[in-house]
Amino acid sequence: MDIWLLLFFALFHGMTHTLASTARHAIVPATVPREELATAIAVDSALFNGSRFAGPALAGLTIPFAGVGGTFVANTIGCVVFLASLYLMDLAPPVREKSGRRSVFFDVGESLRYVRHHAGIGPLLLILTVVSVLFRPIQDMLPGFAGAVFKSDAVGLAWLTSAMGIGAMLSAVWIALRSRVSGLTMAVSAAFLGLNLVTLGLVATPVLWVAVIFALGSGFALNTMSTGGQALVQYAVDDSYRGRVMGLYTLIYRGTPAIGALGLGAVAEFVGLRWTFAVAAVVGLAIWLPTLPRRHAMRAGLEHEHI
């Protein structure tokens, strides 16, 4: 193993993970009744965020006995168990119209037109794009906040990271317990506002323990938007567009934060982390305000069976 081989595997993993995530999103509605979709997605989110704690903890216990290589082998065995379980699932295939000899570019363009003209999905994905570019990179820059802003070490970073993860888990549990799509559009809108406010609080305080509280709120708001947004899109999208639209959602959720992190990181080199994310929060507020007059139309488009 050298750095170039590692880079190749990382690139290959990123490409295949996108395909796997899109396929997983597309089959979720076939696994549960439609009215339980929000709960299923929230439980998936809770398991994902829980794994962020359980995975490193298990690795910490395994590495002293099996080494790093043995730990990767254990992870591979776990993936094989998951794949075996996946292939044992018996799901009815969706009914689709024959596409004929259409190109992939035609299909992509058709899905983009569908999203653009949808009263709820289009505005929601636009909001999620803004959040992914301006706010999700803060997770990648927590080491910078811990060291440069709060003058702390790995302990401070652990507190900030754990607080954000706990906030995300609390959000997932809350969405799962509410077990309905009705009202979720307003919850996502409120989370967008809250995300801007807690980000301003995070960059304004010089006290680490106060920042930990704001980090918890940031994790809660970010997860409410991502989990709630996915539940709303899954609920509202037409089955014939589901795979393509969820592919677009995956692109926004997984891809755009990297672009945002690169851009915000470059800006932070000149003005610092605090001013960078303070401006991002102000821009977010300026984008949130115009969505208020459209919130009822968005809710009607996303929660149509409950209006």
- Pick 103 or 73 by higher pLDDT: 73
Those residues whose C-beta lies under 8 Å from the C-beta of residue 199, and which sit 6 or more positions away, are 135, 138, 214, 218, 277, 278, 280, 281, 284
pLDDT value at position 49? 67
For residues 264 and 86, is the Cβ–Cβ distance under 8 A? no
Average pLDDT of span 117-137: 91
* CB atoms near residue 77 (< 10 Å): 10
Buried/exposed 35-71: b ≥16 CB within 10 Å, e otherwise: eebbbbbbbbbbeebeeeeeeeeeeeebeeeeeeeeb
**pLDDT tens digits, one per residue of 12-21:** 988 888 788 7
DSSP state of 251: I
Domain total of the chain:
1
118 within some domain: yes
**pLDDT tens digits, one per residue of 38-47:** 788 777 777 7
81 within some domain: no
Model confidence at 296, in pLDDT bands (50, 70, 90)?
confident
- CA–CA separation, 93 and 29 (whole Å): 11
Does 8 score more than 90 pLDDT? yes
Which strand (E) or helix (H) includes residue 235? helix 208-236
Model confidence at 124, in pLDDT bands (50, 70, 90)?
very high
- Pick 111 or 52 by higher pLDDT: 111
Does 307 score more than 80 pLDDT? no
167 within some domain: yes
- CA 120 to chain CA mean position, Å: 18
- CA 185 to chain CA mean position, Å: 16
**pLDDT tens digits, one per residue of 212-250:** 999 999 999 998 998 888 888 888 888 888 888 888 888
Does 194 score more than 90 pLDDT? yes
- CA–CA separation, 49 and 176 (whole Å): 14
116 within some domain: yes
pLDDT value at position 276? 93
This prediction has a pTM of: 0.80
- Name the average pLDDT for the chain: 85
Average pLDDT of span 189-198: 95
- Pick 278 or 240 by higher pLDDT: 278
- CA–CA separation, 263 and 74 (whole Å): 37
> CATH no. for residue 46?
1.20.1250.20
239 within some domain: yes
Q: How far apart are the first and last CA of the chain?
A: 57
34 within some domain: yes
76 within some domain: no
Burial of residue 222, with CB atoms counted within 10 A of its CB: 0-12 exposed, 13-18 middle, 19 or more buried:
buried
Does 306 score more than 60 pLDDT? no
Does 9 score more than 80 pLDDT? yes
- CA–CA separation, 228 and 223 (whole Å): 8
Range of the domain at 223: 3-55+104-306
Those residues whose C-beta lies under 8 Å from the C-beta of residue 221, and which sit 6 or more positions away, are 167, 171, 191, 192, 194, 195, 198
Model confidence at 96, in pLDDT bands (50, 70, 90)?
low
